[in-house]
Chains A and B, each alone.
Chain A
Amino acid sequence: MNLEIYLPTALLALGTLVVAWRQPRMHPAWTARILILFIGGSALAVLGLLAFLVVMATGVWTPAKAALAGGLLADNGRVPLPVGVAAGALLVLIAVAVTCSALRWRRELREARAVGTGVVADERPYAVAVPGHDGGVILSSGLVGMLSRRELEVVFRHEAAHLEHRHHLYLMAGSVFTRVFPCLAYPYRALRYALERWADEEAAVAVGDRVLTARTIARVALAQPPAAPGRLALTGSHVTRRVTALLGRTPPDSRIAGPVLFGGAWMAAGSAISPTVTHHVNLVLVLL
Chain B
Amino acid sequence: MSRRKLGQLEAEVLAVLAGADGFLSPNDIGDRLAGGAAYTTVNTILFRLLDKNMVDREKRGRAYVYRLTADEPGLAAERMFGHLRLAHNPSAVLSQFVHGLNPKEEEALRALLDETEGQR
Looking at chain A's contact residues, the main secondary structure is helix
B4 at the interface (CB under 8 A from A): yes
Interface string of A153-169 (1 = CB under 8 A from B): 10111111011100110
In the complex, what's the smallest C-beta–C-beta distance from A197 to chain B, in angstroms? 13
Q: A164-B4, A168-B92, A237-B105 are in contact. Are A159 and B97 (CB under 8 A)?
A: yes
A72 at the interface (CB under 8 A from B): no
A116 at the interface (CB under 8 A from B): yes
List the one stretch of A89-97, A207-215, A249-257, A277-285 in contact with chain B: A207-215
Contact of A119 among B6, B54, B79, B108 (CB under 8 A): B54
A136, B11: Cβ atoms closer than 8 Å: yes
A65 at the interface (CB under 8 A from B): no
Q: Complex Cα distance A51/B18, Å? A: 53
Chain A hits for B101, CB < 8 A: 221-222, 224, 227, 232, 236-237, 239-240
| Contacting residues of chain B (44-86) with chain A, CB-CB under 8 angstroms | 52-54, 68, 70-77, 79-81, 83-84, 86
In the complex, what's the smallest C-beta–C-beta distance from A88 to chain B, in angstroms? 27
Chain A hits for B53, CB < 8 A: 118-119
Chain B hits for A129, CB < 8 A: 11, 94-96
Interface string of B91-113 (1 = CB under 8 A from A): 11111111111111110111011
A261 at the interface (CB under 8 A from B): no
B36 at the interface (CB under 8 A from A): no
Q: Complex Cα distance A118/B49, Å? A: 8
Interchain residue pairs A-B with the least CB separation, the first 5: A135-B7, A121-B73, A156-B15, A118-B52, A160-B11
In the complex, what's the smallest C-beta–C-beta distance from B74 to chain A, in angstroms? 4
A141, B71: Cβ atoms closer than 8 Å: yes
Q: A121-B77, A137-B10, A164-B8 are in contact. Are A224 and B94 (CB under 8 A)?
A: no
CB closest chain-B residue, reference A167: B95
List the one stretch of A15-23, A56-64, A107-115, A263-271 in contact with chain B: A107-115
A288 at the interface (CB under 8 A from B): no
In the complex, what's the smallest C-beta–C-beta distance from A74 to chain B, in angstroms? 44
B100, A224: Cβ atoms closer than 8 Å: yes
A262 at the interface (CB under 8 A from B): no
A101 at the interface (CB under 8 A from B): yes
Interchain Cβ contacts under 8 Å between A and B, 5 examples: A115-B79, A115-B81, A131-B93, A136-B10, A230-B88
Chain A hits for B19, CB < 8 A: 149-150, 153, 207
Interface string of A219-231 (1 = CB under 8 A from B): 1111011111011
Q: Complex Cα distance A145/B71, Å? A: 7
* Beyond A116-B74, A119-B72, 14 additional pairs, beta carbon < 8 A: A116-B52, A119-B75, A130-B7, A132-B7, A133-B5, A140-B83, A152-B18, A153-B18, A155-B97, A207-B19, A220-B98, A221-B101, A227-B87, A227-B100
CB closest chain-A residue, reference B34: A206
B12 at the interface (CB under 8 A from A): yes
Interface string of B8-25 (1 = CB under 8 A from A): 101110110011010000
A69 at the interface (CB under 8 A from B): no
A33 at the interface (CB under 8 A from B): no
Chain B hits for A100, CB < 8 A: none
Q: Complex Cα distance A2/B95, Å? A: 44
